Structure 1
Amino acid sequence: MSEQIHHLLAALTDAWNAGDAAAYADLFTEDADYVTFFGHHSEGRRAIEEGHRALFEGPLRGSRLASPASGEGGAKIRPLGPGVALVVVTGGSALAGGAPDPSRDSIMTLTAVSDGGRWRFASFHNTRISAP
């Protein structure tokens, strides 16, 4: 399970870095819930794809993610039952042509599920890391 989820996290980063909204959304279940750091809630793979297409063609064109699996402490993967795991991971990003910006560092909580023999994310919640 752990190896498949690490591959899923790497695929998430690769799709983002390629600016490929369809490939990014395909890593989520059909009915996935996706909550951004500012509280926007997308419901379903189609909404995730549409939202990311607008981002990749607009304000986040050329942005880059650091691999979440290599974030501080790596990915914490906790099985919750057969074919279901909680994933907590940190990651950072850089806008096009820029250096990684620590103010953009986030912690993400995801639910990974085995979906017909393939692992996908059923939920994603992103929160900016900041001092209390």
Structure 2
Amino acid sequence: MSANAEIITMLTCLAEAWNAGDATAYAAWFTEDADYISFDGTHTRGRQAIESSHRWLFEGPLRGSTMSTPDSDVQVKQLADGAALVISQGGTAVDGRRRDSIVTFTAVRTPEGWRFASFQNTRVTS
């Protein structure tokens, strides 16, 4: 499988973990020292903190929310061997209200396979 296909598969796995409300599975796709910046500018550092914050979200305000799987507009730009920039449409739905975003990731090849070293979410406003 190509690096681009593996990265797109990771995006699908992230959405599946989100939709299952599984914070551990969601965080597993990030490096141990990942940087995670949410739509409101909150900066979470590290896989454990990403897991912890998502567990709180999935058990609380985002319980039952859904995340869309990647569409055909995913852009994967190889930056170097083992590093890529990923730009994708994203979004979640909470209580039937859709919240669209543009998301960016830095994907890196690790001994565990490809993982995300950074994430940034920008809400689409119109």
TM-score (norm 1): 0.90
List, as ranges, runs of 4+ consecutive aligned residues in structure 1 with deviation greater than 6 Å.
none
2:6 counterpart residue number: 4
1:110 aligns with 105
Name the amino acid aligned to 2:103.
M
What is the CA-CA distance between 1:11 and the residue it aligns to? 0.4
Task: Give the unaligned 5+ runs of structure 1.
Answer: none
**Per-residue Cα deviation, 1:68-89 (whole angstroms, up to 9, x for no partner):** x21xx52100000011000000
Structure 1 residue aligned with 2:58, among 56, 59, 66?
A: 56
Q: Which residue of 1 aligns with 2:27?
A: 25
Q: Distance in 2 between matches of 1:130 and 1:51?
A: 25
Q: Match for residue 74 of structure 1?
A: 73
- AA paired with 1:6? I
Paired residue secondary structure (1:105): strand
Q: Name the SS of the counterpart of 2:41 in structure 1.
A: coil
Q: Name which of 100, 118, 121 aligns with 1:123.
A: 118
Kindly, what percent of the aligned residue pairs are identical? 52
| Structure 2 residue runs without a partner (length 5+) | none
Task: Report the RMSD for the aligned CA atoms in angstroms.
Answer: 1.1
Q: Aligned equivalents of 2:77 and 2:88: distance in 1?
A: 12
Q: How far apart in 2 are the matches of 1:56 and 1:32? A: 20
Hey, what does 1:46 align to over in structure 2?
48
Instruction: Count how many residue pairs are aligned between Structure 1 and Structure 2.
Output: 124
Question: In structure 1, what is the equivalent of residue 82 of structure 2?
Answer: 83
Structure 1 pair 59–117 and aligned structure 2 pair: CA distance change class (3 A): closer
DSSP 3-state at the match of 1:37: coil
Length-normalised TM-score, structure 2: 0.94
Cα drift, residue 117 of structure 1: 5.1
Going by fraction, where is strand more abundant, 1 or 2? 2
Distance 1:117 1:48, change over 3 A: closer
